[in-house]
Amino acid sequence: MRSTFLAGVPWRSEKDLKTLVENRTTYTLNNCELNIFETHQEAKDVNLMFGDLVLTTMLKGKKVMHLFNNPGFDYLPGESVIVPPNELMKIDFPEAETENPTQCIALSISKEMIDNTFDLLNDTLPDRMIPNEWGLDLSNFHLINTQDLSEIINRFVRIGVKERSREKDVIATLALKELLIRLTQTQARELLEKTYKQMASQNRLAHVVAFIKSNIREDITLETLSAEACMSKTHFSRTFKNDLGLSPMDFILKERLNLAKNYLRMANYQIQEVCYMSGFNNITYFIRAFKAEFGVTPKVFQSTR
């Protein structure tokens, strides 16, 4: 079960469809172009290319995406893909049909906007730990949307599709800067998840993440984590959130919730057992937090695994 938090956009009416394969609606803004694609019939080897870097996000249905001359991968709602400029996307739609169409957004972003945003961040927040500077890692191009990334994507789509004010381009520019920040924070979290063991002896945040994972069932305080990082509480909290996009305590909560999800998948544990095995000490809070993160209660999740 994937937590996407994507609101989606209205479907085109049947009479407005110019084609049943990758029917395209475009909204042009300063520094970017928002495209909404719909596919209403099965198709294979559909080619798509943009002159600027593009963030694509799946809303409905399923695609198989082929990039960089590699084998295709399933592309599903709740996921995003970052594609470099002038990179050919070959796309299959194995399940698309009138009753089960596919819907995807593609946001192309000017190089000037990307460079200006990350240059500003590297000037004003230069002490980044994961990675060493602000920017997009194009080798880590297939992402699972976090809640904060999905929220800013939703907001940007609303601006592109519905905003009618004279300030539309200014509002869109500010949202675009936040979107780029959320993207690089999401990538940093995925990088840390993959490499924290190797990096723990040489990187403070990696060491803290390793400590959290090893002590997830214990009472972990901000004081303990900042001491592990050899930083003041204020500096540690600010650095952690700037680099990864969420506070240390929110990171711990997500770790515990993902651990609980894994326990619920593994065996028929009682919900109260899962609560305490995952580091929670209050069953009511655990159930409420689980539903807020995954959209269903632990019991419902367990019954549908």
**Is domain 250-303 annotated with CATH 1.10.10.60?**
yes
Rounded Cα gap, residues 267 and 260, in angstroms = 11
Rounded Cα gap, residues 83 and 67, in angstroms = 8
User: What is the reported pLDDT for 1?
Assistant: 40
91 strand-pairing partners: 46, 65
* 196-248: CATH, from 1.10.10.60, 3.40.1010.20, 3.20.20.60, 3.10.640.10: 1.10.10.60
Rounded Cα gap, residues 220 and 25, in angstroms = 49
Rounded Cα gap, residues 216 and 281, in angstroms = 12
User: What is the reported pLDDT for 3?
Assistant: 43
Report helix, strand or coil for 38.
strand
Round the average pLDDT of the chain to a whole number and report it: 91
List every span in the chain annotated with CATH 1.10.10.60. 196-248, 250-303
Quick one: what percent of the chain has pLDDT higher than 70? 93
Residue 43 sits at the vertex; the CA angle it makes with 39 and 48, to the nearest 5 degrees, is 70
Mean pLDDT across 79-91: 96
Taking residue 170's Cβ as centre, other Cβ atoms within 10 Å add up to: 11
Report helix, strand or coil for 80.
strand
Residue with tokens 């609560």: 275
User: What is the reported pLDDT for 250?
Assistant: 96
Cα 202 from chain centre: 27
User: What is the reported pLDDT for 146?
Assistant: 87
Architecture of domain 1-195: Sandwich (2.60)
List every span in the chain annotated with CATH 2.60.120.10. 1-195
Rounded Cα gap, residues 305 and 300, in angstroms = 9
Rounded Cα gap, residues 26 and 139, in angstroms = 28
**What's this model's pTM, rounded to 2 decimal places?**
0.86
Beta strands in the chain (DSSP E): 23-29, 32-39, 43-48, 53-60, 63-66, 73-75, 79-83, 89-93, 102-109, 142-144
Q: Render pLDDT for 224-276 as a digit per residue (tens, 0 to 9).
A: 999 999 999 999 999 999 999 999 999 999 999 999 999 999 878 999 999 99
User: What is the reported pLDDT for 235?
Assistant: 95
User: What is the reported pLDDT for 21?
Assistant: 75
Token digits of residue 6: 């994507």
238: Cα within 13 Å, side-chain hemisphere = 8
